Amino acid sequence: MSLRNIAIVAHVDHGKTTLVDAMLKQSGVFRDNEVVQDRVLDSNDLERERGITILAKNTSVRFRDTKINIIDTPGHADFGGEVERTLMMADGALLLVDAAEGPLPQTRFVLKKCLEAGFPIIVAINKIDRSDARAHEVLSEVFDLFCDLEASDAQADFPILYTNARAGIAHRELGDPSQNLLPLFETILERIPEPHGDPAGKLQTILCTLDYDDYVGRIAIGKVVSGTLRPASLVALVGKNATLRGKVTQVYRFEGLERQSVSEAEAGEVVAIAGMEEFEVGDTISDPEAPEPLPRIQVEEPTLKMRIGVNTSGFAGREGRFLTSRQLRERLFKEARKNVAIRVEDGETADVFVVYGRGELQLAILVETMRREGYEMQLSNPEVVVREIDGQRMEPVERVVVDVPEAFIGVVTERLGRRRGQMTRMSNPGYGRARLEFRLPSRGLIGFRGEFLTETRGTGLCNAIFDGWQLYSGPMLRRPAGAIVADRAGVATPYALFHLQPRGTLFIDPGQAVYEGMIIGEHCRPSDLDVNAIKEKKLSMIRNHGKDENVILAVPPPMGLERCMEWIDRDELVEVTPAAIRLRKVILSCERRPRRDVED
């Protein structure tokens, strides 16, 4: 039996997981009468809720006498670390590009990583059934991207497929009569090489991902680079700082959506391994007599940091199960061991920890996962990581690609200009939409996405990716509006909220409990406003000849975790518990709190 290992890479929402669904169905993984949900590999609750892939997944299909191991990677820029570490299990890549949107920032990132690894690339122009598809123009843009990234002549001579992943169809040429994915399977066998490695050589297995099983404990997923791995064999685990000896109890390989226990796995196979609790991402399993480590996984440095601390609000300890700094620290460092794109450090005090990541979404997913596990915590506003390079203060810069209707070009350009954005390119692919490219400090993107969706009335698309470092560009205006802050504890009343509505936008409903220092709305002016949100109408025994006002309250805007993280300023925190997400001031007492400063 021959073997192929292929990674499917693309920008977010370009159809990777949907294409894997079709490959699984047409290769006979499912029974004819089996009910299969869409995007079967997106098994995580958060992935299904958000409609994106967060964690890389492994599966396999069989075509003729060949087994094809498939690695489905995330497409969002914040999860680029998942892509970087899982590419080590592949020997080639399938690059999907939307037939209407064309190459976007994450397309550039994943293609760059694949080219650096020396992979042969298969290009699939997906979603050819879209009414605004422009397959030939997109193909030209993809070729320009290969040239821009300095691909070798062999890599630039890539095969091209035109696919409709939802319908499970692939064409070698637009308009050919193909009605299935046969051209895709044949192209994989033709263009992706068999794995290199000597099954009789010295054992070397690189560990790329960690998992957990209730029966066998910690599981490491990786690729056997050389030699043969067998259950019950003694091995050396070569870590970053030490080499440990232990026994491999189980070796699994991927068959469809299942893991099957095997008696041996030869060089080139993607495997799951159980038996040692000390597994870490990037470690090498090698021969115990003469261990030889493989190069450790290197990922790009994080560009954003956020402080996560023990909840100290007026409602602390009421709604969560894990409350202490010890529990919080253990959970965060456990995540850092599993995810190489996240780094955790102890903060200035014992109850605060600094978490470094690639972007707001990555940090928000981590916090939301912990919240659902029962943790209580409080979050500071995200900050960019500033470096000293050659004695100069440098900050990260983003390449931002904005796709908007032509009517909103002016307002988007003006909004990004305020955030020190510089337009580098503008194109109009047609259909009434324009594509703008900007280069701006990463600080400028904090809090921009919500404002962008409001200004474009939900019709704009904004994508960004890290684009290097530049000199620190000075102060930047933060949120222009102040906060409406409760000045005492109690339960919010309709009467009080009705009279506070003219002062700004309220975030809470009547009947919601509040405490001193809790933020209940956005002020219409730059200054903060301390208010009594629990005031009740005084009743008396004297009949009033006038008429009571009809209390009509506006519906509060949805304030999810990401929106709250974007909204808060330096003197504010997000309180996160399993039952609620609240906003608060760092200093709860209104008598001790200084005036708000709107400059960065």
Q: Percentage of the chain with pLDDT > 70?
A: 95
Q: Does residue 197 surpass a pLDDT of 60?
A: yes
User: Quick one: which H or E segment has residue 437?
Assistant: strand 433-441
- Residue-wise pLDDT for 319-373, tens only, equals 999 999 999 999 999 888 888 888 999 999 999 999 999 888 889 999 999 999 9
CB contact at 8 A, 450 and 456 = no
| Distance in angstroms (rounded) separating the CA atoms of residues 515 and 314 | 6
| pLDDT score at 35 | 57
* 474-505 pLDDT, tens digit each: 777 678 889 999 999 999 999 999 999 999 99
| Distance (Å) of CA 26 to CA 19, 30, 203, 561 | 11, 9, 35, 39
Residue 151 clears pLDDT 60, i.e. is over it: yes
pLDDT value for 50 = 78
- The pLDDT score that the predictor gives to residue 28 is 77
What distance in Å separates the CA atoms of residue 59 and residue 181, rounded to the nearest whole number?
17
427 CB contacts (<8 Å, ≥6 apart)?
434, 435
Residue found by looking up tokens 């805007």 in the block: 557
- Residue 398, beta-bridge partner list: 440, 466
pTM here is 0.83
Beta strand pairing call for 483-486 and 490-491: unpaired
pLDDT confidence of residue 37:
62
Q: Looking at residue 271, what is its pLDDT?
A: 92
What is the predicted pLDDT for the residue at 600? 46
What is the pLDDT at residue 32? 63
| Joined tokens for residue 532 | 């009594």
Most confident of 73-82, 185-194, 381-390: 185-194
Q: pLDDT tens, 214-235?
A: 788 888 899 999 999 999 889 9
Q: What is the pLDDT of residues 8-61, one digit of tens each?
A: 999 888 888 889 888 888 887 766 656 566 666 666 778 777 777 777 888 899
Examine the pLDDT at 599 and tell me if it is beyond 60.
Answer: no
% of the chain beyond a pLDDT of 90? 42
Strand ranges, E, within 214-269: 217-226, 228-229, 233-238, 243-248, 250-255, 258-261, 265-266
**Lowest-pLDDT choice from 185-189, 249-253, 593-597:** 593-597
**Closest by CA position to 5, among listed 279, 224, 209:** 224
Contacts 24+ apart (CB under 8 A), 549-554: 549/498, 551/494, 551/495, 551/498, 552/498, 553/494, 553/497, 553/498, 553/501, 553/506, 553/509, 553/510, 554/501, 554/505, 554/506
Q: Which residues contact 255 (CB under 8 A, 6 or more apart)?
A: 60
CA atoms within 13 A on the CB side of 37: 7
Identify the bridge partners of residue 551 per DSSP, sorted by sequence position.
Answer: none
Average pLDDT score, the chain: 87
Write b or e for each residue in 447-464: b if 16 or more Cβ atoms lie within 10 A of its Cβ, otherwise e: bbbeebeebbeeebbbbb
Q: What local confidence, expressed as pLDDT, does residue 454 receive? A: 84
Mean pLDDT of the 439-457 span: 86
Quick one: pLDDT at residue 30?
Answer: 67
